Amino acid sequence: MLEYNVKLEGKTILVTGAAGFIGANLVKQLYRQIGENIRVVGVDNITDYYDVNIKYGRLKELEQHPSFVFEKVNIADKPALDKLFAEYKPAVVVNLAAQAGVRYSITNPGSYLESNLIGFYNILEACRWNEVEHLVYASSSSVYGSNKKVPYSTDDKVDNPVSLYAATKKSNELMAHAYSKLYNIPSTGLRFFTVYGPAGRPDMAYFGFTNKLREGKTIQIFNYGNCKRDFTFVDDIVEGVIRIMQHAPEKQNGEDGLPIPPYKVYNIGNNSPENLLDFVTILQEELIRAKVLPEDYDFEAHKELVPMQPGDVPVTYADTTPLEQDFGFKPSTSLRTGLRAFAEWYAEYYGKE
């Protein structure tokens, strides 16, 4: 177990993507765990990639905390970001702002370059010129691409991305490594595995399936249902992030007298891949239980098995051993528990059948 070397109490923490799914949950949990003795500066440019009402709803919750500050800024806007760092002087930066989604990257590549590459470069530059104790940033399980070996380990080569989204996330890790080496910036990258939960992203499969089933439409299950995903409940992701925030990789010099990059990468996943068909079965049971769908709903009539989509991979499976060894933590929320929480939120937000 690593000892914490970053104290969060009394500090300013900058969270980009704060109106996003993981970002908003992270801020909520920071206040729960650390208390009001922190200042969180939430940054988001509220893109309309999905329903902005969900984003504003998340922000409304966060603004109940007196020390929470929201700044509507695009991280690709360097002068605006630099001004933000100069004003708030964050001790810890958590970069969760990104253009998400594998399939969207096939049709809209430009938005990925702006947010995931230029935006991340601006974050690194701001950390370089401001004394930041720890930069934590979101990578993705998609960096493993078409790797055949499972479970995926952070020691594996990740040179075969199958989507531009994956390529941008791999680039983030390389850029962070270079900045850690050149400017001694402690950075930790987190490869998230299929995050789900209440108030999640409507472009994710479980959310899209729910919308379509409720509208009486047919849902398409890719690779004829033979996909396996390491579905990870958002509370588990956030718990991992908060623990990791509190230990920055140590600054030290090598034999040549030059800094060894204070740089780490971890997987945060459930370490237990689920078959997509089993996932859909549990989802439909929980949607009926939450009265989002009627008890006699005919799922077979609304289900279509189709081939694999471009950019998709057949399996994601996290090796979380380093996370367990270093932080004593392993995601463990069961699929049923997580999907029940989602179904209950959905019923409350969108109404019952």
DSSP 51-102: -HHHHHHHHHHHTTSTTEEEEE--TT-HHHHHHHHHHH--SEEEE------T
Q: What is the mean pLDDT of the chain?
A: 93
Range of the domain at 41: 12-196+232-271+316-332
Mean predicted confidence (pLDDT) in 67-87: 98
Asked if residue 102 has pLDDT above 80, the reply is no
Mean predicted confidence (pLDDT) in 186-205: 94
Count of domains forming the chain:
1
The residue among 57 and 105 whose pLDDT is bigger is 57
Assess if residue 348 is contained within a domain: no
Assess if residue 280 is contained within a domain: no
Active-site residue set:
165
Residue 226 confidence (pLDDT) = 82
Above pLDDT 90, what percent of the chain? Answer: 77
Assess if residue 219 is contained within a domain: no
Residue 352 confidence (pLDDT) = 76
Compute how many other C-beta atoms are within 10 angstroms of the C-beta atom of residue 31.
17
Mean predicted confidence (pLDDT) in 204-222: 92
Asked if residue 353 has pLDDT above 70, the reply is no
Mean predicted confidence (pLDDT) in 43-52: 91
Asked if residue 266 has pLDDT above 70, the reply is yes
Mean predicted confidence (pLDDT) in 200-216: 92
pLDDT digits (tens, 9 = 90+) for 4-37: 999 999 999 999 999 999 999 999 999 999 999 9
Residue 311 confidence (pLDDT) = 66
Assess if residue 33 is contained within a domain: yes
Residue 175 confidence (pLDDT) = 98
Name the token pair of 12: 């300013």
Above pLDDT 70, what percent of the chain? Answer: 99
The SS3 of residue 316 is coil
pTM of the predicted protein model? 0.94
pLDDT digits (tens, 9 = 90+) for 281-318: 999 999 999 999 999 999 888 988 888 777 677 788 99
The residue among 315 and 149 whose pLDDT is bigger is 149
Specify the long-range contacts of residues 111-116, CB closer than 8 Å, at least 24 apart: 111/47, 112/164, 112/165, 112/168, 113/168, 114/76, 115/74, 115/75, 115/76, 116/165, 116/168, 116/169, 116/171, 116/172
User: Which residues lie closer than 8 Å to 265 by C-beta, 6 or more apart?
Assistant: 139, 154, 173, 188, 189, 190, 191
Assess if residue 7 is contained within a domain: no
Question: φ and ψ at 260, to 5 degrees?
Answer: -80, 130
Which amino acid does the sequence have at 269? Answer: G
pLDDT digits (tens, 9 = 90+) for 133-148: 999 999 999 999 988 8
Taking the CA atoms of 61, 104, 278 and 202 in sequence, report the sign of the dihedral they define. positive
Per-residue pLDDT band for 132 (boundaries 50, 70, 90) equals: very high
Asked if residue 210 has pLDDT above 90, the reply is yes
Per-residue pLDDT band for 126 (boundaries 50, 70, 90) equals: very high
**CATH number, residue 151:** 3.40.50.720
Assess if residue 216 is contained within a domain: no
The residue among 190 and 101 whose pLDDT is bigger is 190
Per-residue pLDDT band for 103 (boundaries 50, 70, 90) equals: confident
Assess if residue 223 is contained within a domain: no
Assess if residue 281 is contained within a domain: no
Mean predicted confidence (pLDDT) in 163-183: 95
